[in-house]
Structure 1
């Protein structure tokens, strides 16, 4: 879903830790942050370990989002969503949609626009910190092409490092923990190579606009420092 992070060691991409389940993309891989099995000593050395411990404590398995970039050949090839459209879990239901009509639109210099469904009461993520978020990604018609809710997994990625598409990276930066936001992402901040269609998932044309509903759940690094 974005740029393969340069900061991740080769072993993280090439050799998953014990218990990790790789989710294949065309030219890239998504690796679950951790599982309940015991980590080997070599993996304890990664600064990612603290995040894994926090995720397990919350009974959540994080996912690092990767995808169409100069380092990943081809488009997004994750499995298609399995539930029919009417049964897909959402961050914004019908009543939320009606309320959202009266929420003022915020526009940024990059072309990104957003509406806050709910303003959080926690901290905003500093650049370089990891965040754990629920994300429901849609085409402008409302069809969902990716959803952490349906997968039952929070998405974990590092803000400002290019691990996700530019629109999501920018949009989550000014959110606060506990907040929910709808991002209206223009094509230049979305998927340059587009996303192929699959059963239950619509095609996303190259450089076409997309809509993301995002819920910022917590910031692992900040939480660990506070403890």
Structure 2
């Protein structure tokens, strides 16, 4: 199984210019839950796809993330990122707002054999990702008190990684495998499935203690090769 044609495998390797990632508890600075995109840089702002009447397609977003191609969707999110940088944590972009948080109390909790727990906020209607396939997902990672330590929304682009390949922490790898495209899930990840070495604090980012539990909100956007644009 593979990603879209033309995508470089180098997009999955840590770059030498600050694009190294927090893979399973590393200490370098970059996205904590998956590898950085090629070059470690965000996509530039640009216009909509004229061939699609201004509609940004899923394939277009995937190409923009991997190859650094501009898209109006990423331009909008980059603006959100700039605004978010000066906002207190409770006002930063989230996948689950206050109403969603209240509704979580009424949702059933699922516990797996590994100790991972999750609640489905929204069950998707698309396919589930087979092991070895790439996925594109928005992720917001929090310590148990709700402080955000990593967010794809603030970075302006979804995270892309290959499921079941050890490219992300174990809890995220397991939790996304049973999701369906379009779904939104909250993962309650126990310490043994999170960051064994922990993560150091940084401006605007709380410390994650070694082998401490973390919480992830995950929105599975699409699975290239299974969920191609119609």
The TM-score with structure 1 as length reference comes to 0.70
In the aligned structure 1, how far is the partner of 2:132 from the partner of 2:212?
27
Inter-CA distance 36–191: structure 2 relative to 1 (3 Å threshold): closer
| Offset of residue 61 of structure 1 | 1.4
Q: Does 1:186 align with 2:190?
A: yes
- Unaligned stretches of 5+ in structure 1? 1-7, 38-52, 64-80
In the aligned structure 2, how far is the partner of 1:36 from the partner of 1:89?
19
Q: Tell me if structure 2 keeps the 8 A contact 1:130–1:158.
A: yes
Task: Give the one of 199, 203, 208 matched to 1:199.
Answer: 203
* Count of aligned pairs: 183
The TM-score with structure 2 as length reference comes to 0.70
Deviations 1:7-62 (A, max 9, x none): x967963778xxxx75245568744148889xxxxxxxxxxxxxxx9654567415
Task: Give the one of 118, 121, 124 matched to 1:117.
Answer: 121
Please tell me the root mean square deviation across aligned C-alpha atoms, in Å: 3.1
Matches within 5 A, 1:1-227: 13=13, 23-25=19-21, 26=27, 30-33=35-38, 55-56=59-60, 60-62=64-66, 82=85, 83-224=87-228
| Offset of residue 221 of structure 1 | 2.3
- Unaligned stretches of 5+ in structure 2? 1-7, 22-26, 45-56, 68-83
